[in-house]
Structure 1
Amino acid sequence: MTGFDSLEGFLDKWRERWPEWPMVERFLAPETQRRTLAWFALLQEFDDMLNVSGDPLPANAKLGWWSEELRGWDGQRSRHPLGRLLEPVRAPWQALAAALPDLVEARDTAADAGQARAALAGFAEAVAAIEAVLFESGADPRAGQAVVDQLLAQRALALGAAAVPSALGSEQAWLRVLLSQWPARVAGPRPRRLYAALARGRLQARLRGGTYQPSPAGLLWRGWWAARG
């Protein structure tokens, strides 16, 4: 396969969206870096299906396909290129497959911040459970909330005002809420903490009304802080 139908294509697509990643990736063990890229590339596919604008039917069809695909990973029957790196890990893929329909419901405009978080809680817990196995970090009861924080942040960055809960009124108000609820120390394994540090930086830049242009020194500081746990 070539282009975005190949394993390298999917990894490159994620790298293109997160060009700052190489600066923080150095805080990961070399043997985990490629698997981390594959996992985040997979999550990006789901982000795109959550944050769809326009006709949702193609995204819904993809979610259905992915649900079937993930169920096959327990039996080591992957068809997708990302499965080459992820499927060998004996993670709770079935639970993630079962949580994918939550993304359809979570597209609806939430009434408030609590409803926005609740809509993604089941999917986030499934993601956190896989990350505990994938990155050999052990279970952390706070990890699911860390995933919710990042999902909502990336949804706000992708959709702008369309992602704002009804009670908040404006994109700026919603961004302030998201940042106020973001803990100083993010829970979960090191790859998640590094990824969250980049997402937080982008969210802060949006709130300031500027373009996210981090310096190498700033990224290294963020990476070091996140890697410490």
Structure 2
Amino acid sequence: MAGRKTGFGLTQRNRGNDVSSALDSFLDKWRDRWPEWTFVERFVAEGDRARAVAWFALLQEFDDILNATGDTTPQDAKLAWWGEELRSWAAQRSRHPLGRVLEPVRAPWDQLADALPSLMDAREPPTDAAQARKVLAQYAAAAAAVEAAVFNSKLSPAAAEALTTQMLALRVQENAASVPQTFSNEMEWDKALQAAWPSRVAGPRPRRVYAVLARGRQQARIRGGEYQPSPAGLLWRSWWAARG
């Protein structure tokens, strides 16, 4: 006899195994994008490692929605669904597999949910660097607040700005149309972002280590070469960033 269906279309009988498999698929999707993480996660406290991957996987979902082009109706619907989901996390009632790791954290999930619609407006090509940051300000502030709670750290005043810089730097790789109109090309915008991106950013340790990887990729683009970090160099920069 088939079991009762749940919100994910799973039966009660097989829900445990299937949700565990779904969680692994989301985590692995982020790890596949950031294989370097396996070298540097040792600088993150062991108790934070699972949450770090889950949290960054969640942010990647939002980055993908932000970078959508063409008919964005499906992505916009997905964003609305995520808003409802995050509000359910605030009440500790999750449906998404990532909630198994993140929902138990008492964080301002409602604030992040309220900020998600701003990502739709942020898709429009900005006129200049200031506007590029301004349209992401609400989302970045909410994400930084949740991130501080996820890693039980004090919220730094500069954390949202660091998160914004990383989002913009990664977005250039995905969508050339995201370059502000006052910049002539992607390289010029990359260089401006790099100049505003300190080698050690504000935020909890997982963010600081993650930023080392993202910044390294951007530096490779600026140099015009393939991103091939040496394990020794990666370990050194990550250790230094992790020190705070």
> What runs of 5+ residues in structure 2 fail to find an aligned partner?
1-16
RMSD, aligned α-carbons? 1.4
Which residue in the other structure is 2:150 paired with?
A: 134
> Is residue 170 from structure 1 mapped to residue 179 from structure 2 by the alignment?
no
TM-score, normalised by the number of residues in structure 1: 0.96
Which residue in the other structure is 1:123 paired with?
A: 139
> Where in structure 2 are the equivalents of 1:55-66 lying within 5 Å?
55-66=71-82
Partner amino acid, structure 2, of 1:77: R
Over alpha carbons, which structure has the higher Rg? Answer: 2
Deviation of 1:48 (Å): 0.2
Cα distance between partner residues in 2 of 1:45 and 1:3: 18
> Where in structure 2 are the equivalents of 1:173-184 lying within 5 Å?
173-184=188-199
Partner amino acid, structure 2, of 1:195: Y
> What runs of 5+ residues in structure 1 fail to find an aligned partner?
none
Instruction: Check whether the contact 1:3–1:9 (CA below 8 A) recurs between aligned residues.
Output: no
> Is residue 73 from structure 1 mapped to residue 89 from structure 2 by the alignment?
yes
> Is residue 185 from structure 1 mapped to residue 200 from structure 2 by the alignment?
yes
Identity of counterpart residues, as a percentage?
A: 61
Instruction: Check whether the contact 1:2–1:9 (CA below 8 A) recurs between aligned residues.
Output: no
Which residue in the other structure is 1:97 paired with?
A: 113
For these two proteins, the number of residue pairs brought into alignment is 228
Q: What CA deviation, in whole Å up to 9, does each residue of 1:154-193 have, x standing for no partner?
A: 101111x322100011111101100011123200000000
Deviation of 1:101 (Å): 0.6
Cα distance between partner residues in 2 of 1:150 and 1:109: 17
Deviation of 1:114 (Å): 0.5
Which residue in the other structure is 1:13 paired with?
A: 29
Deviation of 1:2 (Å): 5.3
Cα distance between partner residues in 1 of 2:51 and 2:211: 17
Partner amino acid, structure 2, of 1:26: R
Instruction: Check whether the contact 1:36–1:191 (CA below 8 A) recurs between aligned residues.
Output: yes
Cα distance between partner residues in 1 of 2:78 and 2:226: 32
TM-score, normalised by the number of residues in structure 2: 0.91
Q: What CA deviation, in whole Å up to 9, does each residue of 1:59-110 have, x standing for no partner?
A: 1010000000001111111000000000001100000000001110100000
Cα distance between partner residues in 1 of 2:199 and 2:233: 17
Cα distance between partner residues in 2 of 1:40 and 1:115: 25
Cα distance between partner residues in 2 of 1:158 and 1:2: 31
